[in-house]
Amino acid sequence: MPYETHTRDVEKTQALGYDPIPLHRPKFIYFEFTGLRPSFPHWIYFGGIEVTKFVNTSYTKANYEAAGRDSVLKDPGEKFINVSQFPTDSGLTYSGATAQGGTTDPLYTTANGILKGVFYLQSNNTYNWPINADGTELLTIDQYNIDKNNTYSYGSALFKGFGQYENYWSWFETENYEVWVDPPTSHDDGGDDSLVVTHDYNEGTGELEGFTFTSNNDGHKIVTVHTYEDGNMTGGTVTSGNYEAVLVFVDPDGDGEGYWTTKQVKK
């Protein structure tokens, strides 16, 4: 049975190993410092940079843990990539910065010396932090600098992150594959089989080899052609019996691709 050889482009890939991700991605981090100086101003630093305005102290540990894994609090992605303080969004239980930081607007500990909340770790061209093997310090301190030698109250914790990029090479190759093609067949409604002849279709000229198209039946590509009678080529439509031969374009899949064949029909 006949097959046709076709070609297609196939994408190939090759793994080339991994590289560490150099920067922290955006993330909300819950923190809680205890034993601080009660009811006293404090600032927040991350990696030595003051980030007080990226903190919201309305959150509790229960708020943070109750958020679904698909919530922006657990996975902000790049939704807030352009903000310059704690984000404001309907998907957050508490929005906006509690304080703007700087020299005049710090955060305050509770009467029990507690400072807790959520810190938004930003990652853009202005705010970004490299991933260090030893971690990055999150610091709260009761002065507008990170000199722990001259402070009465501070607390610190290390935040660690790790990630990798997978490196790979991709390219396209052309490959051959075989497609089953039904052979041209003649369609007979009971006439003389000797009058049914299939001929090759010439894609270059758009004609059936050895024949000239003489008519078209409403766009169905059915034309009356010369045909064989008693083994000889005769002009016009065959007149043997009550049948004539017509040329039919067969399109099995309805995709515009098919083959030409002759068919006997009653007069």
Please report, in tens digits, the pLDDT of each residue of the chain (267 residues total): 577 888 999 999 988 888 888 899 999 999 999 999 999 999 999 999 999 999 999 999 999 999 998 999 999 999 999 999 999 999 999 999 999 999 999 999 999 999 999 999 999 999 999 998 899 999 999 999 999 998 999 999 999 988 777 888 899 999 998 888 776 655 444 444 443 444 444 444 444 454 444 333 333 333 344 433 333 333 344 344 444 555 566 666 666 666 666 655 554
Q: What local confidence, expressed as pLDDT, does residue 165 receive?
A: 76
Domain, as residue range, for 2: 1-18+165-181
Q: What local confidence, expressed as pLDDT, does residue 259 receive?
A: 61
Say yes or no: 13 and 101 in one domain: no
Q: What local confidence, expressed as pLDDT, does residue 232 receive?
A: 35
Q: What local confidence, expressed as pLDDT, does residue 184 receive?
A: 60
Say yes or no: 34 and 156 in one domain: yes
Q: What local confidence, expressed as pLDDT, does residue 241 receive?
A: 46
Asked which of 147, 181, 215 is the last residue of a domain, the reply is 181
Q: What local confidence, expressed as pLDDT, does residue 22 receive?
A: 87
Say yes or no: 122 and 141 in one domain: yes
Rounded to whole angstroms, the Cα distance separating 67 from 120 reads 15
Rounded to whole angstroms, the Cα distance separating 172 from 138 reads 48
Asked which of 152, 181, 210 is the last residue of a domain, the reply is 181
Rounded to whole angstroms, the Cα distance separating 3 from 16 reads 39
Nearest Cα residue to 101 out of 169, 171, 161, 50: 50
Q: What local confidence, expressed as pLDDT, does residue 183 receive?
A: 66
Say yes or no: 26 and 38 in one domain: yes
Say yes or no: 242 and 195 in one domain: yes
Cα–Cα distances in angstroms (integers) from residue 262 to residues 187, 206, 255, in the given order: 7, 16, 20
Count up the domains in the chain and report the number: 3
Asked which of 133, 162, 191 is the last residue of a domain, the reply is 162
Say yes or no: 169 and 151 in one domain: no
Question: 22 exposed, middle or buried (CB, 10 Å; 0-12, 13-18, 19+)?
Answer: exposed
Say yes or no: 157 and 170 in one domain: no
Say yes or no: 93 and 210 in one domain: no
Say yes or no: 12 and 33 in one domain: no
Q: What local confidence, expressed as pLDDT, does residue 238 receive?
A: 39
Say yes or no: 140 and 153 in one domain: yes
String of b and e for 51-69 (b: at least 16 CB within 10 Å)? bbbbbbbebbeebbeebee
Say yes or no: 157 and 87 in one domain: yes
Question: 138 exposed, middle or buried (CB, 10 Å; 0-12, 13-18, 19+)?
Answer: buried
Say yes or no: 136 and 249 in one domain: no
